[in-house]
Structure 1
């Protein structure tokens, strides 16, 4: 069967197999999927808000940022997972080192979330000069 040149040309309303445009994966009734970077930002933000609620005076002027990687990677002990600037009251978390260098046996979403939250806790503890376990002792009372 000869190909019709009008049908074989690429148009904005057909894909290359002639089945039409694809619909969203999630469908019309479900929320859109989030990327790993968006989920990382959500976890950092919710953990930071949790800590700000517990330590309102100490963290009132603190800011939290997320970056992919540190600006400079030294030849020292490894790659930083966060950086704390006590003068500017800023905590910067580095997404790729936290996600990729974590040694997770399970590799599930709960383990991933716990790793990110742990890094936020440790960075805030460094900013405040406290032990991470002292930031929210009631959270771990059941352990």
Structure 2
């Protein structure tokens, strides 16, 4: 039993994670945001999978904007993808989190942003892409 250490040299116990690594509480805010976007992409993919097959969904922290511009900071955008015919839909984490009050509003804002970008890409109205668009989550 001499090889087992139960306390560090100051008697406070071993330091380490308080929760298992895959527990939701141990995930960073950025990881939780990426999970939220991935869940919404999967949800939209169930209905529009074939139309979204060439679309890459990306989360970036902040957009590249000119600091001298007076316009609003974008929350997301659609841009040409790296491949031929591909498209990227980018969601900017920090501006979305700054605009939302809490996790519930962040989830609603991410849903609405993705629906708007997909609707614009497909040439449809947001309501036809997702009937729950712009409705509160109760």
Task: Indicate the SS of the match to 2:77.
Answer: strand
Q: CA RMSD in A?
A: 2.8
Distance 1:125 1:65, change over 3 A: same
Matched, 1:116 2:110: yes
> Cα–Cα, structure 1 residues 22 and 119, in superposed 2: closer, same or farther, change >3 Å?
same
Count of aligned residue pairs for this structure pair: 123
Equivalence for 1:78: 72
Shift of 1:51: 1.0
Give the gaps of 5 or more residues in structure 2: 1-6
Report the alpha carbon displacement of residue 66 of structure 1 after superposing the two structures with TM.
0.6
Q: Work out whether residues 83 and 91 of structure 1, in 8 Å CA contact, stay in contact via their aligned partners in 2.
A: yes
2:33 corresponding residue in structure 1: 40
1:22 alignment partner, SS class = coil
TM-score (norm 2): 0.73
TM-score w.r.t. the length of structure 1 is: 0.71
**Greater Rg, structure 1 or structure 2?**
1
User: Would the alpha carbon gap of residues 125 and 38 (structure 1) be closer, same or farther in structure 2, given more than 3 Å must change?
Assistant: same
Shift of 1:27: 5.8
